[in-house]
Amino acid sequence: SLSLDDITESVANDFLNMLELEECSYVYASDSEPTSPREYLLREFEKEVLASGNFLLDLDEEAEYKSDTGEGSNDFSFSSSSLGVGENKREGKYQLLISRRKDKVLEDLETDTLMQEWDLNDNSFNNS
């Protein structure tokens, strides 16, 4: 059985392999700089979100997901221009990655909403 860290590391490595990047290119001497591919990707994602002026996944500002009321937007739209993808080969890989991420986010939102509606939490399943 794989641990969560093993799975996370595997996903990060698969992503880096898709981008054809080498892990060693992300190691920096400064403490404020990322020291792992995972940290580097997180920092890059944060920069892109701040630069775009939009919240996660290009959602409208008025349509942010509100977990306490169960209301939210299921319109997860992506555009290749917002990703800065120019090559056709990489664009296909990015679109596949984005599609998987979109599906996972949607599944998580639906699960959270149903668990709230049914008054369940993660501890409810530990005793079953």
The per-residue pLDDT for 13 is 77
The number of domains in the chain is: 2
* Residue indicated by tokens 């641990």: 3
Residue 12 in this model has a pLDDT that exceeds 50: yes
Asked if 48 and 75 sit in the same domain, the reply is no
Q: Say if residues 94 and 85 touch (Cβ distance below 8 Å).
A: yes
Angle between helix axes 4-18 and 88-117 (nearest 10 degrees) is 150
Q: What percent of the chain has pLDDT over 70?
A: 49
Most confident of the following: 33-37, 48-52, 62-66, 113-117:
113-117
What's the token pair of residue 108?
Answer: 């998580």
Q: How far apart (Å, rounded) are the C-alpha atoms in residues 94 and 46?
A: 17
Specify the higher pLDDT residue, 128 or 125. Answer: 125
Domain residues for 102?
68-128
The per-residue pLDDT for 72 is 47
Closest CA to 71 of 81, 84, 59: 59
* Upper half-sphere CA count for residue 26 (Cβ side, 13 Å): 17
Q: Residue 15 falls within a domain, yes or no?
A: yes
Closest CA to 80 of 62, 58, 100: 58
Asked if 27 and 76 sit in the same domain, the reply is no
pTM of model > 0.75: no
Residue 122 in this model has a pLDDT that exceeds 50: yes
| Tens-digit pLDDT profile for residues 44-76 | 777 776 676 555 444 433 344 444 444 444 445
Asked if 118 and 74 sit in the same domain, the reply is yes
Asked if 73 and 127 sit in the same domain, the reply is yes
Q: Say if residues 64 and 55 touch (Cβ distance below 8 Å).
A: yes
Query: What number of residues does the chain have?
Result: 128
Q: How confident is the model at residue 120 (pLDDT cuts 50, 70, 90)?
A: confident
The DSSP-derived string for 32-75 is: TS--SHHHHHHHHHHHHHHHHTSBGGGB-GGG--BTTTTB----
